[in-house]
Amino acid sequence: MRYVGLDVGDRLIGAAVSDESGTLASGIDTVRRVGPRKDLKAVAELVRRHEAGEVVVGLPRRLDGSLGGQAQKVLDFIEGLRPRVGVPVVPWDERFTSVVAERALIEGGVSRQQRKTMVDKVAAILILQSYLDYRKLAESESRRTTP
């Protein structure tokens, strides 16, 4: 099954997709936000095009784990997306993903101008990859403890 990962921002939505085995995340289209209905339609089309069975959306929690204003915007986006995609939509803790993405791009020698266009996609890759890794670990633990 394929998974789609999203980093939902105010101006852009970074996106990533997994391989069929749900092991590796890769970056795909970044959606420029133009309005709630069009944004949801564009993301739903992206989910259909990649035949995803689940969508993982980064949820920006505060350092103490609580939810702030941006997190509420993302939760509202998730609620709007669920009926449009017909597959599970899972919020996933995304603390520090944009910072890590920015640092990785800097270390990779990517120019400031290019980083602006790439950071959302890289953040989506990090969100999705952490979710995929968690699932694999949980499956592995479950097999070990099941007689």
Q: In the chain, pLDDT over 90 holds for what percent of residues? A: 65
Give all strands (DSSP E) within the chain, no chain letters: 2-8, 12-18, 25-27, 31-32, 52-59, 89-93
Q: Give the residue-averaged pLDDT of 111-125.
A: 81
What confidence score (pLDDT) does residue 104 get? 77
pLDDT digits (tens, 9 = 90+) for 46-70: 999 999 999 999 999 887 888 888 9
Q: Please give the domain boundaries of the chain with CATH numbers for all domains.
A: 2-145 (3.30.420.140)
Report the alpha-carbon distance of residue 83 to residue 121 in Å, rounded: 24
Is pLDDT larger for residue 112 or for residue 128?
128
What does the buried/exposed string (b/e) look like for 99-136 if buried means 16 or more CB atoms within 10 Å of the residue's CB? eebbebbeeeebeeeebeebbbbbbbbbbbbbbbeebe
